[in-house]
């Protein structure tokens, strides 16, 4: 009797468990079906840009099935951004805070599809852009960006956010809340990050340029990628100038020299500190001070590198030993293994030789820079400027001297074709040079339409007179 009762109880429990199990499956399936239906509804509304109609079905899916599909967060961003744009006051504040919360939910539910640095920086930027409404201080916002940067530097790449991050550091320095060392360290961090991203997009763009130069047409996807890379390079070019402008004369020799003198003993075995200190003094033209000599020699002894050899070249230039300087510059290029950095070195050396009036040798370095990084058109503009500066000395007649400006204009146009960040400046420069070249009337008077003119001296090139 007892055995039968026990058996019946067990059967009842099993039946109940099975019932609950199947009810759970049915309930889960019904919920999933409901979420799928509502997801389809709000997604269609989003595609039609009817964000108000999309809001409620989107919120239903977000709350009931947060792990259902990443479209919840992709579309949710558009929905909440529309709400933020159309609202004000407390309502706007609530939507901003909800967007920040939603990005956190995305990271929790779809971590592999949510780059941490990117979305943390997005949240900081949103709060910065609405700092008055949210009542955020510079210190709070800086800590937000700093946490995002340290969380995942690799995906903290947004140009605007990188500038905002540094701008806040400058504001805190001006308010006496950050030291000069903090300011210069953060400047180096952000500039190195920008250079890293420029290198990344330049190398990708160079592959497409090489394909075009080889005569192969780009696919529609490659054309889109090319425009994408160019847009990012243009954005980084703009913020690079803004970062330097924001830093301004805070990093002048009067501030740098005592700071680095004070820190030298504690950092004389720190290669990164020495490299940054020497680099900053070089950038700000503080190279006449004995401290620069001290920094460079300590850095080269501790960690011989392309950078240290380049700085030694600067020292030799300062001493008037140009031949020895060139040897160190060439050593720097040999020591550098990264083509992007090697291109930058060639360009910087070319600029020094150009400033010294050694145009022929400078052009060799500029052309090497172009071969290593063709998406940077600055060397073309430097060559064009040297041609223009040599017009009076590289022609045997007045007409032929002014014909040099056609060469200069053509070189300037190359800069605009290869480098989207220079298109406007290159076009203006080329137009300026063209205005200094012989006119159609002068070509008619000379009777040399379509003829080839050989340009002598260091230029050693020919130019074809335009046909009229």
CA distance 359 to 70: 57
Binning pLDDT at 50, 70 and 90, where does residue 11 land?
Answer: low
Residue ending a domain, choose from 114, 149, 175: 114
Q: Are 463 and 403 in contact (CB under 8 A)?
A: yes
Same domain, 90 and 195: no
Q: In this structure, is residue 344 part of a structural domain?
A: no
Q: Based on the fold, state whether residues 223 and 143 are members of the same structural domain.
A: yes
pLDDT tens for 234-288 read 999 999 999 999 999 899 999 999 999 999 999 999 999 999 999 999 989 899 9
Any domain includes 447: yes
Same domain? For 105 and 132 the reply is: no
- Would residue 341 count as lying in a domain? no
Q: Domain of 189?
A: 128-247
List pLDDT tens digits, range 34-74.
999 999 999 999 999 999 999 999 999 999 999 999 999 99
Same-domain status, 449 and 418: yes
Residue 48 lies in a domain: yes
- pLDDT tens per residue, range 191-207: 999 999 999 999 999 99
Tell me: do 168 and 76 sit in the same domain.
no
107 and 143 together in one domain: no
**Tens-digit pLDDT profile for residues 131-170:** 999 999 999 999 999 999 999 999 999 999 999 999 999 9
Neighbours of 205 (CB within 10 A): 24
SS (H, E, C) the chain: CHHHHHHHHHHHHHHHHHHHHHHHHHHHHHHHHHHHHHHHHHHHHHHCCCHHHHHHHHHHHHHHCCCCCCHHHHHHHHHHHHHHHHCCHHHHHHHHHHHHHHHHHHHHHCHHHCCHHHHHHHHHHHHHHCHHHHCCCHHHHHHHHHHHHHHCHHHCCCHHHHHHHHHHHHHHHHCCCCCHHHHHHHHHHHHHHHHHHHHHHHHHHHHHHHHHHCCCCCCHHHHHHHHHHHHHHHHHHHHHHHHHHHHHHHHCHHHHHHHHHHHHHHHCCCHHHHHHHHHHHHHCCCCCCHHHHHHHHHHHHHCCCHHHHHHHHHHHHHCCCHHHHHHHHHHHHHHCCCHHHHHHHHHHHHHHHHHCCCHHHHHHHHHHHHHHCCCCCHHHHHHHHHHHHCCCCCCCCHHHHHHHHHHHHHHHHHHHHHCHHHHHHHHHHHHHHHHHCCCHHHHHHHCCCCCEEEECCCCCEEEECCCC
Do 95 and 188 fall into the same domain? no
Is the pLDDT reported for residue 333 higher than 90?
yes
Q: What percent of the chain has pLDDT over 90?
A: 85
In a domain, 172, yes or no: yes
User: Of the candidates 114, 144, 170, which is a domain's last residue?
Assistant: 114
Query: Which of 204, 223, 247 is a domain's end point?
Result: 247
Is the same domain home to 99 and 22? yes
For 467, phi then psi, to 5°, come to -80, 140
Q: Is residue 430 part of a domain?
A: yes
Please check whether residues 81 and 171 belong to one and the same domain: no
Domain shared by 146 and 82, yes or no? no
pLDDT score of 218: 93
Residue 468 banded pLDDT, cuts 50, 70, 90 = confident
Q: Are residues 79 and 134 in the same domain?
A: no
Residue 319 lies in a domain: no
Closest CA to 11 of 101, 390, 3, 145: 3
Count of the separate structural domains present in the chain: 3
Same domain for 206 and 132, yes or no, is yes
Is 14 a domain residue? yes
Distance between CA 9 and CA 27 in Å, rounded? Answer: 26
């Amino acid at each position: 009797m007892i055995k039968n009762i026990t058996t019946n109880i067990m059967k009842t429990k099993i039946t109940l468990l099975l019932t609950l199990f199947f009810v759970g499956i049915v309930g889960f399936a019904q919920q999933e079906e409901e979420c799928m239906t509502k997801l389809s509804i709000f997604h269609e509304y989003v595609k039609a840009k009817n964000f108000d109609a999309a809001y409620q079905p989107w919120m239903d899916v977000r709350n009931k099935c947060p792990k259902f599909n990443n479209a919840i967060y992709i579309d949710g961003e558009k929905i909440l951004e529309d709400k933020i744009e159309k609202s004000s006051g407390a309502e706007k504040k609530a939507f901003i805070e909800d967007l920040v919360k939603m990005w956190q939910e995305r990271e929790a539910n779809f971590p592999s599809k949510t780059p941490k640095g990117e979305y943390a920086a997005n949240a900081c930027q949103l709060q910065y852009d609405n700092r008055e409404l949210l009542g955020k201080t510079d210190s709070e916002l800086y800590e937000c960006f700093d946490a995002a940067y340290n969380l995942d530097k690799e995906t903290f790449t947004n140009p605007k956010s990188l500038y905002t991050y540094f701008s806040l550091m400058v504001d805190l320095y001006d308010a006496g809340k950050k030291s000069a060392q903090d300011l210069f360290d953060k400047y180096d961090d952000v500039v190195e990050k920008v250079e890293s991203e420029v290198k990344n997009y330049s190398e990708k763009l160079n592959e497409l340029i090489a394909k075009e130069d080889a005569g192969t047409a780009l696919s529609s996807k490659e054309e889109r990628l090319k425009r994408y890379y160019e847009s990012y390079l243009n954005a980084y070019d703009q913020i690079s100038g803004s970062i330097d402008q924001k830093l301004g004369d805070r990093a002048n020799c009067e501030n740098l020299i005592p700071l680095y003198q004070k820190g030298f003993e504690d950092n004389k075995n720190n290669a990164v500190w020495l490299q940054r200190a020497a680099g900053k003094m070089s950038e700000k033209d503080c190279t006449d001070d004995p401290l620069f000599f001290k920094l460079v020699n300590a850095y080269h002894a501790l960690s011989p590198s392309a950078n240290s050899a380049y700085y030694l070249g600067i020292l030799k230039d300062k001493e008037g030993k140009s031949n020895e300087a060139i040897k160190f510059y060439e050593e720097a290029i040999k020591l550098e293994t990264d083509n992007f950095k090697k291109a930058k070195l060639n360009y910087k050396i070319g600029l020094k030789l150009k400033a010294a009036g050694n145009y022929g040798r400078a052009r060799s370095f500029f052309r090497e820079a172009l071969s290593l990084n063709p998406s940077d058109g600055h060397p073309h503009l430097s060559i064009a400027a040297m041609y223009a500066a040599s017009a009076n000395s590289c022609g045997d007649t007045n007409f032929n001297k002014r014909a040099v400006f056609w060469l200069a204009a053509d070189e300037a146009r190359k800069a605009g074709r290869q480098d989207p960040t220079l298109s406007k400046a290159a076009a203006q420069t080329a137009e300026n040079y063209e205005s200094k070249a012989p006119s159609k009337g002068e070509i008619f008077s000379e009777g040399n339409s379509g003829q080839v003119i050989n340009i002598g001296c260091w230029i050693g090139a020919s130019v074809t007179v335009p046909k009229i």
